[in-house]
Amino acid sequence: MNNRFLAVAAAGLAGLLFAGQSLAGPIDCDLTPGAEAEGQPPEACAAFNLTNSGIDTETGAINNDSGFGGGFLYIGKYDSASDAFDGTGGIPGLTLSVWEIDDDDWGYQYQLTAAEGSDYFGQTIDFVLMTKQGSGSGQLWDEYAEYAYLFTGFTLDIDGLVNSFNWRGRDAYSHVTAFVRPSVAVPEPTTLGLLGLGLLGLGMAARRRRQQ
């Protein structure tokens, strides 16, 4: 049983004792089983206890309740039982793969890929990975059936790692779902400074013309 599981278990049980209510929305990433993308931690995390695993339910939770900002589109889900990706109702050309690995800290590796020529091929995106713990597997907390991880500013294809915990430690997941939105580039300070100088120059030129 690894140290991350013990820390998550202790924090989660303490949260139940003092909070007294289930969580549906943003959560401290330290209280989740954990995920990363290209070696980077998530920007934000959320936890849910959804009534079902339908596309509309999961997408609605990500866009409306996670605090991730909305605008995410459903890609599809990788199902543990069938060991296959199901992109029904998702974005053509995007594929999520998940497989078990032998590692002290991580249970699974995943890959999010875009087919050449597809809409998101080579694009910089924001994406969300949502894990659903296996039903009947003795979840660590009944309140926390799903965990969601936000990653921003990544270019497809993307490799990462993810965990799924229950009371026995690290254990199988039900499915992993992925969502995507185009990444909005934030201008660098230098770019903003040059833009400001350009606008100032235009304003001064217009003023001279009026004076003449």
Per-residue pLDDT tens digits of the chain, which is 212 residues long: 454 544 444 444 434 333 334 457 999 999 888 999 999 999 999 999 888 889 999 999 999 999 999 999 999 999 999 999 999 999 999 999 999 999 989 999 999 999 999 989 999 999 999 999 876 544 444 457 899 999 999 999 999 999 987 545 556 788 999 999 998 654 545 544 555 555 666 666 566 666 65
What is the C-alpha separation between 135 and 79, in angstroms, rounded? 13
CB 179 within 8 A of CB 72: yes
**Closest by Cα among 45, 49, 22, 15 to 33:** 45
Q: pTM of the prediction? A: 0.76
The token pair at 29 is 């990433």
